[in-house]
Amino acid sequence: MADTARRPENRYGNRPTMKDVAARAGVGLKTVSRVVNGEPGVTPETERRVQEAIDALGFRRNDSARVLRKGSTASIGLVLEDLADPFYGPLSRAVEEIARAHGALLINGSSAEDPDREQELVLALCARRVDGLVIIPAGDDHRYLEPELKAGVATVFVDRPAGQIDADVVLSDSFGGARDGVAHLIAHGHRRIGFIGDMPRIHTSAERLRGYRAAMEDAGIPIEDAWMSLGVTDPERVRRAAEEMLTGPSPVTAVFAGNNRVTVTVVRVLAEHRRPVALVGFDDFELADLLQPGVTVVAQDAAQLGRTAAERLFRQLDGTLITPERIELPTRLITRGSGELPPAG
Amino acid sequence: MADTARRPENRYGNRPTMKDVAARAGVGLKTVSRVVNGEPGVTPETERRVQEAIDALGFRRNDSARVLRKGSTASIGLVLEDLADPFYGPLSRAVEEIARAHGALLINGSSAEDPDREQELVLALCARRVDGLVIIPAGDDHRYLEPELKAGVATVFVDRPAGQIDADVVLSDSFGGARDGVAHLIAHGHRRIGFIGDMPRIHTSAERLRGYRAAMEDAGIPIEDAWMSLGVTDPERVRRAAEEMLTGPSPVTAVFAGNNRVTVTVVRVLAEHRRPVALVGFDDFELADLLQPGVTVVAQDAAQLGRTAAERLFRQLDGTLITPERIELPTRLITRGSGELPPAG
DNA sequence: CCTGGATCTGACAACGTTGTCCAGGCTCTA
DNA sequence: TAGAGCCTGGACAACGTTGTCAGATCCAGG
């Protein structure tokens, strides 16, 4: 009775353990372990008996115990902004594929662009002793990671750099991409060019804004405040921002959209607008080529970002990689029509 | 020396444990545990000392050990076909949100539509003792899950039913949706209607095909073999299949596309085609409204599928839910133009 | 028949945590 | 002032696995 009371309440109707298998097969505990792990030194006859017991009982090794004993979980964590964002799909998948190639599982979570939630998630993953972390940061202070890094948790940041700590990071060249995109519009004769982007506290947003400014400055075009919308992110307000730029006292003839969600909303606004307005968007998206006109974009390779990050992560784990680096992947301008429209109005 | 030799090689440069914290704070092991878990019965002064030691050492509780002791992992597994598929993004996210609300983490993996890989993933998740599984099955025989179910792993299938076992499943009404979509085309005067779908061994594909057949039969229209393309899935072959239907001896005037990827490819083909052809697709997709003409679709609510499944999962874990059920969520026809084109040619 | 070596097997401790239980110190009341 | 009862803290076992090491078994060769 005291015996059963001591048993912790657990959800698995007391699954069979190696001990149970051993008892049933009439062998020792360690022999079962050997069979389960394919270690040598077991006679075929013994192995058969053990295998039979395993099948009969429906035994499945408890990896929690294994992890506890061995110290490595063979799993990595991925923290991103929103699993549902089409930009992150290919990225996650790429990370997963690399993890799989290294025999690791992927645990992931969405931070919803909330720094507290990011930290909560990251620490939960650390408590589970993931071997490594791929983080698309929401916050800009990652000092909370210091004990983890010191303890040897491999970490790679993607898409945006870590804040206040020195860590590996894999980025797209947001600055260069935006500058090229805006320069492309300028080359097609535009001078009054609008920029709609996310909050400048997000690194990529800030870099893209910087690219926009650089391109304008290179062309000697002074920027009017009314041409810029920053930190506006939900569709309704992006719509309003776009409309204001198009109808203000000094209306823009072209728009540079800072990310795929903004681009999509702007496409909708422009579709309702009588005067043709040129558009270049950061991030490619499906069907961009089928719209009328096709949408010219600065494309970044999300899968490649994920792949690169995951590969670096496993090289950290191998010990091949020591010094944190910053890797910038190039972007690619894809012209489809919307960015080549001449200024109108 | 024997001491260090016995220590297993592990990746975490020997992180501090509760024992270390206890030693540093000059208290007992259990007291540290109490502080970490916010249990009552610790004086503020003691708590302060312990907290100080925790911060100083960078201690983080090892959840593997905790799981081993407590028997519940507070994590659930999600196995789907492809994380990168935009259809699964909102679904995963919805599952994650529900999990989060229950304090559980999400571990997920892509089966890549390969039954062996699905099984491998599912069993790996079971070995980690996830509390429950949400599975979008690739295979059609899930008897391998029987020991797990018996052991009390909560399981919900989504989008497609389990094979050979009795389990909870949450589906969209593929049959009804497809029938309505095809009936819609018939109502607009079409009689030669093509169907392009995935392999009929996939449940949803088979159901949608059945819906197509039912609608045609209801209207008394005999189906010609040349109007159906089944099991073709990569863009190039879908393209060829569509072109054959459009140019064959008895060319179709409308196409019903069995899933979002097929729809997108068909849109491309039709865009190059001189004669207007009507189109209804299963699954909604972003920007469908902005194409010329807008694409009429049978929409299913991926997020709702995920939410429903995850909620049922946690109700299984609560013990509120015992008997497996089959839940079918309705689909919704969204008319945007492409499905309302009259027959031409 | 015995010995040496190789091969196979099992007892045991340890991984880091939590549940149980008991000891000691304190407060409060009769 | 003694006894009851509460509060705090700590010793110990157990969770299921794996590494270590020593014991058991077998066979060939002397």
Contacting B residues, span 266-295, partner chain A, CB-CB under 8 Å: 267-268, 271, 285-287, 290-292
pLDDT (0 to 100) of residue B36: 92
Where helices occur in chain B by DSSP H, the ranges are: 2-6, 18-25, 29-36, 44-57, 63-70, 88-101, 115-127, 146-151, 174-187, 203-218, 235-247, 260-272, 302-318
Q: Is B244 helix (H, G, I), strand (E, B) or coil?
A: helix
- Kindly state the tokens that stand for B287: 């920007």
Strand C contact at CB of residue B240, distance < 7 A: no
pLDDT (0 to 100) of residue B283: 95
Q: Is residue A3's pLDDT more than 70?
A: no
Distance from CA of A322 to the nearest CA of B (A): 14
pLDDT band at A345; cut points 50, 70, 90: low
Amino acid letter, A53: A
A310-343 exposure pattern, b = at least 16 Cβ within 10 A, e = fewer: bbbbbebbeeebeebeeeeeebeebebbbbbbeb
- Residues of chain A with Cβ-Cβ distance to B92 below 8 Å are 83-84
Cα–Cα distance, B166 to A205 (Å, whole number): 50
A232 touches A196 (CB < 8 A):
yes
pLDDT (0 to 100) of residue B72: 86
Distance from CA of B338 to the nearest CA of A (A): 14
Cα–Cα distance, B136 to B222 (Å, whole number): 34
Where in chain B do CATH 3.40.50.2300 domains reside?
73-172+302-330, 174-301+333-340
Across the interface, whether the CB atoms of B124 and A131 are under 8 A apart is answered: no
Strand C contact at CB of residue A72, distance < 7 A: no
- Kindly state the tokens that stand for A305: 């970002």
Residues with Cβ within 8 Å of residue B240, at least 6 apart in sequence: none
**Residues linked to residue A137 through DSSP beta bridges, in sequence order:** none
Q: Is residue B65's pLDDT more than 60?
A: yes
Angle at B153 between CA B147 and CA B157, to 5 degrees: 100
pLDDT (0 to 100) of residue B4: 31
Amino acid letter, B6: R
The fourth-level CATH superfamily of domain B2-61 is lambda repressor-like DNA-binding domains (1.10.260.40)
The mean predicted confidence, pLDDT, of chain B is 91
State percent of chain B over pLDDT 90: 81
Q: Is residue A12's pLDDT more than 70?
A: no
Fold entry, domain B73-172+302-330: Rossmann fold (3.40.50)
Tell me the pLDDT tens digit for each residue of A248-285: 999 999 999 999 899 999 999 999 898 999 999 999 99
Chain B contact for A72, CB < 8 A?
yes
Q: Is residue A49's pLDDT more than 70?
A: yes
Tell me the pLDDT tens digit for each residue of A176-211: 999 999 999 999 999 999 999 999 988 999 999 999
Name the residue with tokens 């026809």: B333
Q: Is residue B1's pLDDT more than 80?
A: no
pLDDT (0 to 100) of residue B345: 65
Q: Is residue A11's pLDDT more than 80?
A: no
Q: Is residue B6's pLDDT more than 60?
A: no
The mean predicted confidence, pLDDT, of chain A is 92
A72-172+302-330: in CATH 3.40.50.2300: yes
pLDDT (0 to 100) of residue A219: 98
Chain A contact for B338, CB < 8 A?
no
End-to-end CA distance of chain A: 88
pLDDT (0 to 100) of residue B152: 87
Cα–Cα distance, A89 to A81 (Å, whole number): 11
Tell me the pLDDT tens digit for each residue of B114-160: 999 999 999 999 999 999 999 999 999 999 999 999 888 999 999 99
Tell me the pLDDT tens digit for each residue of A119-141: 999 999 999 999 999 999 999 99
Cα–Cα distances (Å) from A38 to A31, A64, A70, B283, in that order, read 10, 19, 16, 46
Name the residue with tokens 């429903």: B308
**Residues linked to residue A256 through DSSP beta bridges, in sequence order:** A195, A280
Cα–Cα distance, B55 to A321 (Å, whole number): 28
Lowest-confidence pick of A303-312, B144-153, B324-333 = B144-153
Where in chain B do CATH 1.10.260.40 domains reside?
2-61
- Kindly state the tokens that stand for B15: 């992180």
The fourth-level CATH superfamily of domain A174-300 is Response regulator (3.40.50.2300)
Angle at B19 between CA B14 and CA B22, to 5 degrees: 130
Across the interface, whether the CB atoms of A58 and B150 are under 8 A apart is answered: yes
- Residues of chain A with Cβ-Cβ distance to B123 below 8 Å are 60
Chain A contact for B71, CB < 8 A?
yes
pLDDT (0 to 100) of residue B13: 54
Q: Which CATH number fits domain B174-301+333-340: 3.100.10.20, 3.30.230.10, 3.40.50.2300, 3.40.50.360?
A: 3.40.50.2300
Q: Find the CB nearest B64 among A60, A64, A84.
A: A64
Tell me the pLDDT tens digit for each residue of B242-280: 999 999 999 999 999 999 899 999 999 999 898 999 999
pLDDT (0 to 100) of residue A314: 95
Where in chain A do CATH 3.40.50.2300 domains reside?
72-172+302-330, 174-300
